[in-house]
C-alpha cells in the first residue's frame, strides 16, 4: 500500500459526516428557524454539538454540565459527569477524532492548501494546558459561583467562548429569525470574531480549538491513559522508524506514549506503521 | 519523557492490563453516577435548558 493511500482519511471523515448528520437531523428546525424540543434532548451526545443548533437532536455535554452546576438546586452534576466518565473511560478521545462535528469542520478546513502549515511552535505544549484551565474556570467554577440573586449561574463557556455554539446555533438562528437579528450586540460580534479566528487558524494549524481550548477534549483526555479502547505497541515488531510520530498531526509519539492525552485516535499512525507494530486492543483500526 | 518499557508499561507506570481494569472501573462508576444523577432529577434541568433556545450559547443573551 503506498503512503498516500495509507494516510487517506476519508474513511474517518465519512463516519464524522454521518454522525454529524445523525445528531443534527431535525431538518424542520433549519426550515423553520426553531430547535427540536423532543425527548431525545434528555440525552447528551458525546461530541461538542450545540443544543441550540436548529438540527440538534441531543444535548451538548459541556452545555449540560454548565446548566446543572449553574442551577440553584443542584451544584454537582452527577448525570453529566457520569456520562463524561463513561465515554472517556470507555473510548478516551476517540470521540474527538471520529464523532465531534466541530472536529470535522476543523479537519476539513485544514485540507485547504496554505503557504506554510504550522505543526508546532514555541509555547505549543504549554498552551495545550489552557483547555484544562478553561474547563475548570468557565465550565465548572464560574457557573457554580458567579451567580445571580436567585443563585443561578450562566453557562460562561457557551456565552463567552464556544465557537461551535456560534457556528451551529448563533449563525443559523439569527439568519432565520428576524426578531433575533434585532437583538444582536457586542457579545454576538465577539463570538463571531472568535469563530472567525478559530476557523482561519484551522487552515494553518491542525485542530487549534481541540488542542488549546476544548473543555470536552480536556475531560476525555484525562481518561485516555486508562481508557478501555487503547493503542498498543508490539516492541518486537517496532523498528523505531519514526513514521507514526511523523504522521501524527497532534504531535504525539505513539511508540513512546500510545495512550497520550493529546491523541485523538484518528488512526493515521496505525495505518502508516510498516510492520503492524502499532495497533489497538480491538484489532486493526482506521482503514 | 521516559519510553515505554518492554513489559508494556506506559508513562503512568501502569501496565496495559491494569490501566484497562481502572478504565472498566471508571466506566462502571460513570454509569452509577448517571443513574444517581437521573434519580435526583438532573436530567430535567438538562432537558429544560436544551429545549429552549440558549441565548447565551448563541451570543445574544
Burial A55-83 (b: 16+ CB within 10 A, else e): bbbbbbbbbbbbbbbbbeebeebbbbbbb
pLDDT tens digit string along A78-95? 999 999 999 999 999 999
CA distances from A275 to A8, A232, A238, A241, A282 (A): 18, 13, 7, 10, 18
pLDDT tens digit string along A43-79? 999 999 999 999 999 999 999 999 999 998 888 899 9
Q: Are A157 and A139 in contact (CB under 8 A)?
A: yes
pLDDT tens digit string along A116-161? 999 999 999 999 999 999 999 999 999 999 999 888 999 999 999 9
Q: Mean pLDDT over all residues of chain A?
A: 93
CB proximity list for B58: less than 8 A, separation 6 or greater: A50, A52, A165, A166, A169, A170, A173, A174, A180, A188
CB spacing of A77 vs B4 below 8 angstroms: no
Q: Domain ranges in chain A? A: 3-228, 230-287
Question: Could you confirm whether domain A230-287 is CATH 2.20.28?
Answer: no
Q: What distance in Å separates the CA atoms of residue A261 and residue B17, rounded to the nearest whole number? A: 18
What residue in A sits closest to B38 (Cα-Cα)? A79
Task: Measure CB to CB from residue B33 to each of A35, A85, A183 and give the nearest one.
Answer: A85
- φ, ψ (nearest 5 deg) of residue A232: -140, 150
Residue A287 has pLDDT above 60, yes or no: no
Residue B3 has pLDDT above 50, yes or no: no
According to DSSP, the residues that pair with A205 across neighbouring strands are: A118
Asked if the C-beta of A83 comes within 8 angstroms of chain B's C-beta atoms, the answer is yes
- φ, ψ (nearest 5 deg) of residue B35: -60, -45
Q: Domain ranges in chain B? A: 16-58
Q: What distance in Å separates the CA atoms of residue A249 and residue B54, rounded to the nearest whole number? A: 34
Asked if the C-beta of A256 comes within 8 angstroms of chain B's C-beta atoms, the answer is yes
pLDDT tens digit string along A37-47? 999 999 999 99
Place of cell 510520530: A245
Asked if the C-beta of B13 comes within 8 angstroms of chain A's C-beta atoms, the answer is no
CA distances from A271 to A6, A55, A225, A259 (A): 6, 34, 21, 16
**SS3 category, A153:** strand
C-alpha A276: how far from chain center = 28
Amino acid at each position: 500500500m503506498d503512503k498516500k493511500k495509507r494516510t487517506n482519511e476519508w474513511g474517518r471523515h465519512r463516519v464524522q459526516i454521518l454522525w454529524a448528520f445523525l445528531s443534527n437531523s431535525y431538518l424542520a428546525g433549519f426550515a423553520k428557524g426553531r430547535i427540536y424540543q423532543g425527548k431525545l434532548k434528555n440525552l447528551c451526545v458525546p461530541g461538542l454539538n450545540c443544543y441550540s443548533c436548529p438540527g440538534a437532536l441531543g444535548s451538548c455535554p459541556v452545555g449540560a454540565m454548565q446548566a446543572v452546576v449553574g442551577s440553584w438546586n443542584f451544584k454537582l452534576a452527577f448525570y453529566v459527569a457520569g456520562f463524561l466518565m463513561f465515554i472517556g473511560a470507555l473510548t478516551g478521545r476517540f470521540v474527538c477524532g471520529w464523532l465531534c462535528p466541530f472536529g470535522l469542520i476543523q479537519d476539513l478546513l485544514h485540507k485547504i492548501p496554505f503557504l506554510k502549515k504550522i505543526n508546532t511552535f514555541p509555547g505549543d505544549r504549554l498552551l495545550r494546558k489552557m483547555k484544562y484551565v478553561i474547563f475548570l474556570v468557565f465550565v465548572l467554577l464560574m457557573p457554580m459561583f458567579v451567580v445571580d440573586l436567585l443563585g443561578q449561574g450562566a453557562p460562561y463557556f457557551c456565552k463567552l467562548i464556544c465557537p461551535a455554539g456560534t457556528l451551529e446555533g448563533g449563525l443559523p438562528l439569527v439568519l432565520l429569525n428576524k426578531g433575533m437579528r434585532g437583538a444582536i450586540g457586542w457579545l454576538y460580534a465577539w463570538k463571531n470574531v472568535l469563530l472567525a479566528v478559530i476557523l482561519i487558524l484551522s487552515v494553518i494549524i491542525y485542530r487549534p480549538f481541540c488542542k488549546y481550548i476544548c473543555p470536552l477534549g480536556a475531560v476525555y483526555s484525562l481518561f485516555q491513559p486508562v481508557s478501555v479502547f487503547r493503542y498498543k505497541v508490539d516492541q518486537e515488531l517496532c523498528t523505531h522508524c519514526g513514521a507514526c510520530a511523523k504522521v501524527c498531526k497532534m504531535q504525539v509519539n505513539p511508540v513512546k506514549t500510545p495512550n497520550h492525552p493529546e491523541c485523538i485516535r484518528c488512526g493515521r499512525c496505525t495505518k502508516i506503521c510498516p510492520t503492524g507494530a502499532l495497533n489497538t486492543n480491538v484489532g486493526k483500526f482506521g482503514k | 519523557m521516559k519510553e515505554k518499557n518492554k513489559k508494556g508499561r506506559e508513562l503512568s507506570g501502569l501496565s496495559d492490563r491494569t490501566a484497562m481494569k481502572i478504565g472498566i472501573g471508571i466506566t462502571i462508576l460513570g454509569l452509577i453516577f448517571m443513574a444517581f444523577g437521573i434519580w435526583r432529577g438532573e436530567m430535567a434541568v438538562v432537558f429544560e435548558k436544551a429545549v429552549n433556545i440558549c441565548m447565551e450559547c448563541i451570543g445574544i443573551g
